Copies of this chain bind each other. A is one copy, B any other.
């Protein structure tokens, strides 16, 4: 159970079967860093082309198709003082007739946010088109995009997401959470990047407060236990993640996967699982901006442990 320190020298804008940057073992911990969605690093220097550049991939020794890869997010720390965000709500999340009657002038605007790690806040210090600077919100660092090679020779843009993970932009992927992914190729080939200092539900302006991160994560393998969709757990909930358009289909994937897990992992019979979910399920709209939307289906641990 080694601890690795890895400094990236190049990044990928697809998740696929790229040459691994490091071999790690079940139980190992990795300390590394990620650049922001535009390819800016800890010094706000552009070190790679924008578009959610990924650190990695990491080859997990022993990982084989059909396994589950657990990624424990131990630390997600913004490693510079400034983040940025878009300033207009995405037109696909507003009534079309409202969009048609609104002026277009701020659509390319940006805002700049100052991170105060000791206070645990982000403050908007510049923005186009508003007098509302000074807005201060609590930091809630999260991973926007991570996952494993999707297999079958695919290399998928980090703009989107699927059963292999990807650009899920779920604000629940914070430090302290264990994420889980299905393994499709030997070594799993884990990629990570696109840190957000904070983000609202749905990522409706098309970004969180985008920033570079210092990251520490630990990997574990569950042999033969591949989920159908990504998921995870935090202190109170287990959750499953559906990535698709429209929201209805993302919700279908997440719901079906949770139902499967209640049967297979928690021993419910089919109807018992359905009754419990009916009265106790929780959903979150993770992102309603990316090419695949993300809906999260959650169940309280105290209700599923028997």
Contacts and interface: CB of A to CB of B under 8 A. Distances in A.
Interface in A152-200: 152-157, 198-200
A244 B285 CA distance: 16
Contact of A247 (B98, B101, B129, B248): B248
A283 B280 contact: no
Given A12-B153, A14-B155, 10 more contacts: A13-B152, A91-B97, A93-B251, A106-B271, A153-B155, A155-B155, A200-B277, A208-B279, A248-B288, A285-B295
Contacts of A99: 91, 96, 99-100
Interface of A: 12-14, 16, 51, 85-104, 106-107, 109, 111, 124, 127-132, 135, 137, 152-157, 198-205, 207-209, 244-249, 251-253, 255-256, 259, 268-272, 274-285, 288, 295, 303
A189 B288 CA distance: 33
A111 B272 CA distance: 11
Contacts of A51: 152
A305 B155 CA distance: 41
A185 B239 CA distance: 40
Most buried by B among A90, A93, A245, A288: A93
A127 B271 contact: yes
Contacts of A202: 251, 281, 283
20 contacts: A85-B278, A86-B278, A87-B274, A88-B100, A88-B274, A92-B97, A94-B255, A94-B259, A99-B100, A130-B270, A132-B268, A132-B271, A137-B279, A137-B280, A154-B155, A154-B156, A201-B283, A204-B278, A246-B246, A283-B285
B154 A14 contact: yes
A274 B102 contact: no
B276 A135 contact: yes
A280 B200 contact: yes
B89 A259 contact: yes
Contacts of A95: 252-253, 256
B245 A245 contact: yes
Contacts of A111: 275
A57 to B, nearest CB: 14
Which 5 residue pairs across A and B have the least CB separation, nearest first?
Answer: A132-B272, A205-B278, A91-B96, A130-B271, A247-B247
Contacts of A86: 278
A302 B280 CA distance: 28
